[in-house]
Amino acid sequence: MNQHSSMPTGGRRPLTRAERKRLIAAQEKRSRRKLLITAAIIFALLAVGFLFSSIQIDRIGAYNQQVQDGLIEGTVNNDISVYMFVRVIVIALAAVLALYLLVRLINPKRRKPNRSFWGDLFIYSIMLLFAAAMAFPLVFSVASSLKPLDELFRFPPRVFPQHMTLDNYLDLLVVLGQSWVPFSRYLMNTVFITFVGTLGHVMIASMAAFVLAKYDFPGGKFFFSVVVTALMFSGYVTGIPNYIIMSRMNMIDTYWAVLLPAFAAPIGLFLMKQFMEGIPDALIEAAEIDGASQMRIFLSIVMPNVKPAWLTIIIFSVQNLWNTNAATVIYSENKKTLVYALQQIQAGGIARTGLAAAVTVIVMVVPITIFILSQSQILETMASSGIKD
């Protein structure tokens, strides 16, 4: 009786461990074979699309070149951009499919999400398209700086250079070396303004935000309302008032004409106050009971807990100060910034198009590097720095 009751419904005996393993292996083998067959069909279709678009691009390019050279009569065919876009899409889809196959074949026993193969392929394709759209301007700028002058004026333009060269950067060094103010002077001016301006902005904004967030005093709310209102005005609007104030203080043609407005940027104060309001008052009161001074509380308790805020402020401040030319408030050539000198080179006309491409890369390297190095720290701190009463 007990033996019959232990039998599963329908008279089927339970599978042993070895049988289950063989069954799972057979299912995985069938799934892998189906995946490879589907991928082969998709790759074949993508290859056909790539070959067709390449043939059309070469045909239209040859036709346009003959029209430009005056060998035949007609108008330039602009349909080449459509086929170039199709080719980019085909390459992106092939890369996504190859990546997906690699993950599935190397680690087939991973936890499967509640999506089909086509769902994963669609999601990865969309993500890759957005990533390519955001990375394209950077890639194109770097590639343009490595092109010779004849390729920079080619139409339709090519993304990557056919004959890669560093002549643009070498010519840029030659032009900068011919200036009566050394290149190192421009660089040191920019580094000094960026470092001092960022440090002062972080410290002043942090101390002011600490008072506004944790202490009640007459006029505190009104002062913060003024700060919030100042966020609406861009630097172009405040440029004239800043110039008038710096002129009245006799600070025109000095570094202070750039540093003081950077210290008083409202975005830092607003962001720091919003983060500091999340710190429990009980934590500060406990430190005061233990005899900690206000400066000790600020440096040892408050600042470490608002690390995401001041890291974000550093990114914004470095980007703004590094990219400023300060031409309206600094007139002496030996005090001008690197961006100003590079912009003067860019204004040299068509002959300096290659130099302008190299200048664009040099100007954007530092802000992008600072952002990449700080991004992981910001995300990690944002995920692990929540403090609640």
Q: Based on the fold, state whether residues 240 and 133 are members of the same structural domain.
A: no
The answer to whether residues 236 and 366 belong to one domain is yes
Average pLDDT, the chain: 77
Inform me whether the pLDDT recorded for 255 exceeds 70: yes
Q: What is the CATH number of the domain that holds 185?
A: 1.10.3720.10
Same domain assignment for residues 97 and 190: no
Last residue of some domain: 86, 120, 152?
152
Q: Are residues 126 and 210 in the same domain?
A: no
Q: Side chain identity at 353, as an amino acid letter?
A: T
pLDDT score at 385:
43
Which of 122, 152, 182 corresponds to the end of one domain? 152
Q: Do residues 86 and 144 both lie within one domain?
A: yes
329-344 residue pLDDT tens: 888 878 888 888 777 7
pLDDT of residue 389: 47
SS in 3 state form for the chain? Answer: CHHHHHCCCCCCCCCCHHHHHHHHHHHHHHHHHHHHHHHHHHHHHHHHHHHHHHHHHHHHHHHHHHHHHCCCCCCCCCCHHHHHHHHHHHHHHHHHHHHHHHHHHHCCCCCCCCCCHHHHHHHHHHHHHHHHHHHHHHHHHHHHHCCCHHHHCCCCCCCCCCCCCCHHHHHHHHHHHCCCCCHHHHHHHHHHHHHHHHHHHHHHHHHHHHHHHHCCCCCHHHHHHHHHHHCCCCHHHHHHHHHHHHHHCCCCCCCHHHHHHHHCCHHHHHHHHHHHCCCCHHHHHHHHHCCCCHHHHHHHHHHHHCHHHHHHHHHHHHHHHHCCCCCCCCCCHHHCCHHHHHHHHHCCCHHHHHHHHHHHHHHHHHHHHHHHHHHHHHHHHHHHCCCCC
Same domain, 84 and 210: no
Q: Does residue 377 surpass a pLDDT of 70?
A: no
Total number of domains in the chain: 2
Question: Do 83 and 220 sit in the same domain of this protein?
Answer: no
Is residue 1 one of the residues assigned to a domain? no
Confidence check: pLDDT of 2 > 50: no
Is 227 among the domain residues?
A: yes
Whether 313 and 337 map to the same domain: the answer is yes
Residue 241 resides in a domain: yes
Question: What are the tens digits of pLDDT across the range 203-242?
Answer: 998 888 888 888 888 888 888 888 888 888 877 788 888 8
> What is the extent of the structural domain holding 36?
15-152
* Mean pLDDT, rounded, for 105-121: 57
Is 176 found in the same domain as 136?
no
Question: Are residues 292 and 181 both part of a single domain?
Answer: yes
Which is nearest to 163 in space by CA: 149, 153, 173, 175?
149
Query: How do residues 281-328 score in pLDDT, each as one tens digit?
Result: 888 888 888 888 888 888 888 888 888 788 888 888 888 888 888 878
266-286 confidence digits (pLDDT tens):
888 888 888 888 888 888 888
Choose the final residue of a domain: 128, 152, 176. 152
